[in-house]
Structure 1
Amino acid sequence: MFDAEQNTFNYDFGIRLEAARMALRLSPNEMCELLDCARSTYTQYIRGNTMITPYRLSPLYKCGVSSDYLFFGDKRNLSNTVAMSIEGAEVVAKSEREKPENRGRRT
């Protein structure tokens, strides 16, 4: 049961991380620069295959994206700018993630 819960948590985190990128209007490469990670690593984060080290999220916090949102979906601490565009970005991120070529290990 824990594995299923962990997979769901990682999947949801990946959707929210990608939605945050879109809401901030960053390209994938710009997001990688912000998080100081390789593009392949970022892909693993958004696919839910690897969990990000929390200290790497500090730059996102400075941009108005709270860790409460990324980890748990709590939107109360998002900056106004991010909050206004996050809903639509989540829909797009989830749609992109559900494409067969983007599913990763999630079943």
Structure 2
Amino acid sequence: IDGANGWKTFWHITVPLLRPTIIMTFIMSINGTLQLFDESVNLTSGGPANSTITMSHYIYNNSFGQGVANFGYASAMSFFVFILVAILAIINLKVGDTRD
């Protein structure tokens, strides 16, 4: 620490100590974003030209909305989201389990 300026102290001491927290927050944010549905449906219904549509809303539109129901495609996308959320949950458990 002696002779290190503020930037080096932050980059080499503070960031490594905060790395597990940063990674866990990042993973939980992605996981929460994948689960958004109510906000995009109730507030904007997808917005102009589907600009605020989320993945869950897109799956819903493919299975129940917009005329022809495409259950196979919606099911495949739901399975992909399930696998992605499961992988993120496993990573979150590994990062959160820091026993020393």
**TM-score, length of structure 2 as denominator length:** 0.28
Q: Which has the larger radius of gyration?
A: 2
Identify which of structures 1 and 2 has the higher relative contact order when contacts are C-alpha pairs closer than 8 Å and 6+ apart. Answer: 1
**TM-score, length of structure 1 as denominator length:** 0.27
